A and B are shown apart, each in its own frame.
Chain A
């Protein structure tokens, strides 16, 4: 079953799994996410171990502004929903709709990033820098790492949109869309943990 056969005409039911390459990619990506779970797990553990070590710097409960973080959370969760729509559009072979949903997804992703940058700026102004305390170091590393993942996702999906315009939906491009969407959900799930462990627990003390 080669890539070209299906390129024109109708696409197979699950185009992302139509070829061995596609199946390999999907499986490999899940394994990669397994590694990412460990990575974030370790960052979380470090954060939890160090989160009360604030020295003279601000404490989490003085620092965090929950309404804004809550807004960011909602934005990211919504973007995840958009990516579900994107995959559904893909499965119905509706390229225009697919591109549209992808577009909404990255716009929301960018808004999330904007809020995060704004938030970090505020913190720095309040004397909460990378080198302020062990709490601040582990905070910026964990949350910043997640932010970097979001930024990477935005870049990735933008590239895919460009490819959609050029090549349309094929058994080569479909797995890429599918993977980027799993990735996006993953980022979202990690954020839910960050929201709980970092922000909510930080607010309660």
Chain B
């Protein structure tokens, strides 16, 4: 019950982690099934339609229900601590964001049990996803599930932007913020400007499907390329929404375990901003083969390649941070160091794809699959693993087992490269993506087998991680406040796990790497910026949960055209909003002094 009503950012972070990780396992299972099907030529392990459902659900689940929530888990667990705040700006909305994500994801996955699963790919291209070619409710699950989950993401973006702007501790100017906070700030900006585009796309597709509207129905005057534009104007920034937080994690981990200040701090900030800006401008590189014409292709091609410059700045800064540092090869740092060359490889194939004429060859081949998995798995997932191992003691008060951690790293890392490196060659040899099977003796057989073996190895790595978590759970909560002893930012100044109110007294920040600075000056604690006094806390609430259930019910109502059900669900949500706005919630106060004596 406690967990259903919590508005504490640390608990919400744990909820995000749990739910996101479960969806990661679901998406992983789907990936394994895909790889079993493709292990040998002319396989019929799964039926052809099931295969389409699998790739669609795998992509959708991994991006929206696994990767993003796990990032939200890290932001929730860490951001308020890093900026010296007691909570996020809108604790209630934070809870609401989690529950809408959760119920949206649930709705999407119920499709498996309803037997009508989305099967138009995670990009849901029309006309394939339109009512003419997709008459079952499959794509409805995609549209409505993502719409509900998207609300949560948008709320999160607004919340973290406001939190970081308004709630930094005294002395923490923008140019003293830890790199992870910077990354999340920019990510939140991207979320706020990219997700509404998806919302509109989904609404339009939904209207086409449910009310016979004609946005994308060519017969009704609609335009299919419009969907591509709308989807990718959202979709390309989405990739940066995923990767920038990983950049932030890597910056923290690398600096901590090199025991050095992050090299080129201000150029790192500048690079983040530049990447985000360019990220918005280049969506049409996904549409080179759509026929936009040579001028458009050339511009988008150049724009895309430009992104390599700020990205290169970041890579070199990480390398210079490591250079000459007294490096500790903890699991977190292994993941961070493994990230660097892997991500570079993904970047290189990205530049290859950005060359429009060459893309006519690579397009929709396994080369693309290899590229985006290098970026998403080799970038983002390695980053998340690094972050989890790094902040685990802060989140849970227990150190993960290093031996098992290293085993996770090596199996996952080797498995990853086995799986996806060979796919570059499969693509160059001409194997198309999204195909159910292939003929023997075209040069695809061995490479596919290797790829599948790699996938199993990644699965093993993930299981080792789960084991590690379970074993760690049985151990006492004894992590120190500064669990790695080399912590640099504010989260390492408070107990692990932190008390409900985080900071007994808001700290005064006196420079970049606030905590490191105090340590080098021989201080054992931060200087407080306020006197010790009662702390105002928001009260827990069940409303976010009920509101999301309302939307969930309404989703089914729309989908199956039970209009009273849809109206009822919406009504539930509105009634909750009514209660929320009419009954002012003044929260409660905690007296830290009493607690110390108790």
Q: Point out residues on A near B: beta carbons under 8 Å.
A: 2-4, 20, 23-24, 27-28, 31-32, 34-36, 38-39, 42-43, 46, 49-50, 53-55, 130-138, 141, 156, 159, 162-163, 167, 172, 176
**Contact status B230-A46, CB under 8 Å:** yes
Nearest CB on B from A147, distance (A)? 15
Determine the distance from Cα of A42 to Cα of B227 in the docked complex, in whole angstroms: 11
**B244 touches A (CB below 8 Å):** no
Q: A35-B195, A42-B230, A49-B226 are in contact. Are A141 and B159 (CB under 8 A)?
A: no
Nearest CB on B from A182, distance (A)? 15
**Contact status A28-B89, CB under 8 Å:** yes
Determine the distance from Cα of A130 to Cα of B158 in the docked complex, in whole angstroms: 33
Nearest CB on B from A62, distance (A)? 16
Please name the 5 residue pairs, one residue from A and one from B, whose CB atoms are nearest each other, closest first: A53-B221, A134-B221, A137-B213, A39-B196, A131-B212
**Contact status A134-B220, CB under 8 Å:** yes
Determine the distance from Cα of A46 to Cα of B581 in the docked complex, in whole angstroms: 34
Query: In residues 213-262 of chain B, which contact A (Cβ within 8 Å)?
Result: 213-215, 217, 220-223, 226, 230, 233
**Contact status A3-B204, CB under 8 Å:** no
**B43 touches A (CB below 8 Å):** no
Contacting residues, chain A, for B536 (C-beta < 8 A): 2
0/1 string, B528-563, CB within 8 A of A gives 1? 000000001000000000000000000000000000
**B154 touches A (CB below 8 Å):** yes
Determine the distance from Cα of A134 to Cα of B161 in the docked complex, in whole angstroms: 37
Contacting residues, chain B, for A167 (C-beta < 8 A): 584
**B586 touches A (CB below 8 Å):** yes
Contacting residues, chain A, for B226 (C-beta < 8 A): 46, 49-50
**Contact status A130-B222, CB under 8 Å:** no
Q: Which of B157, B158, B215 contacts A137 (CB 8 A)?
A: B215
**Contact status A20-B166, CB under 8 Å:** yes
Query: In residues 130-178 of chain B, which contact A (Cβ within 8 Å)?
Result: 154, 157-159, 161-162, 165-167
Given contacts A46-B204, A133-B220, A134-B222, 13 further A-B contacts (CB under 8 A): A4-B586, A38-B192, A38-B194, A39-B200, A42-B230, A43-B200, A46-B226, A53-B221, A134-B214, A137-B207, A137-B214, A159-B582, A162-B582
Contacting residues, chain B, for A135 (C-beta < 8 A): 221
Contacting residues, chain B, for A172 (C-beta < 8 A): 584
**Contact status A3-B586, CB under 8 Å:** yes
A/B interface sample: 21 pairs, CB < 8 A: A4-B586, A24-B89, A24-B162, A24-B167, A27-B165, A34-B192, A34-B193, A35-B157, A35-B192, A36-B196, A38-B194, A38-B196, A38-B197, A49-B223, A53-B220, A130-B207, A131-B211, A131-B213, A134-B220, A135-B221, A137-B213
Query: In residues 196-212 of chain B, which contact A (Cβ within 8 Å)?
Result: 196-197, 199-201, 203-204, 207-208, 211-212
**Contact status B162-A163, CB under 8 Å:** no
Determine the distance from Cα of A38 to Cα of B89 in the docked complex, in whole angstroms: 23
**B484 touches A (CB below 8 Å):** no
A162 to B, closest residue via Cβ: B582
Contacting residues, chain B, for A46 (C-beta < 8 A): 200, 204, 215, 226, 230
Q: Point out residues on B near A: beta carbons under 8 Å.
A: 89-90, 154, 157-159, 161-162, 165-167, 192-197, 199-201, 203-204, 207-208, 211-215, 217, 220-223, 226, 230, 233, 536, 578, 581-582, 584, 586
**Contact status B162-A54, CB under 8 Å:** no
**Contact status B158-A35, CB under 8 Å:** yes
Contacting residues, chain B, for A28 (C-beta < 8 A): 89-90, 158-159, 161-162
**Contact status B213-A176, CB under 8 Å:** no
**Contact status B193-A38, CB under 8 Å:** yes
B159 to A, closest residue via Cβ: A28
Contacting residues, chain A, for B159 (C-beta < 8 A): 28
Determine the distance from Cα of A167 to Cα of B583 in the docked complex, in whole angstroms: 11
Q: Which of B154, B165, B215 contacts A134 (CB 8 A)?
A: B215
Q: A35-B193, A137-B220 are in contact. Are A130 and B166 (CB under 8 A)?
A: no
**Contact status A27-B166, CB under 8 Å:** yes
**Contact status A141-B581, CB under 8 Å:** no
**Contact status A24-B215, CB under 8 Å:** no
Determine the distance from Cα of A135 to Cα of B221 in the docked complex, in whole angstroms: 8
Q: A49-B223, A53-B222, A130-B207 are in contact. Are A42 and B197 (CB under 8 A)?
A: yes
Nearest CB on A from B154, distance (A)? 6
Contacting residues, chain B, for A163 (C-beta < 8 A): 581-582
Nearest CB on A from B539, distance (A)? 13
B211 to A, closest residue via Cβ: A130
Determine the distance from Cα of A28 to Cα of B93 in the docked complex, in whole angstroms: 11
Nearest CB on B from A135, distance (A)? 7
Determine the distance from Cα of A171 to Cα of B355 in the docked complex, in whole angstroms: 57
**Contact status A23-B193, CB under 8 Å:** no
B165 to A, closest residue via Cβ: A27
Nearest CB on A from B577, distance (A)? 9
Contacting residues, chain B, for A136 (C-beta < 8 A): 214
B538 to A, closest residue via Cβ: A21
Contacting residues, chain B, for A132 (C-beta < 8 A): 214
Determine the distance from Cα of A163 to Cα of B582 in the docked complex, in whole angstroms: 7
Q: A24-B90, A28-B162 are in contact. Are A134 and B223 (CB under 8 A)?
A: yes
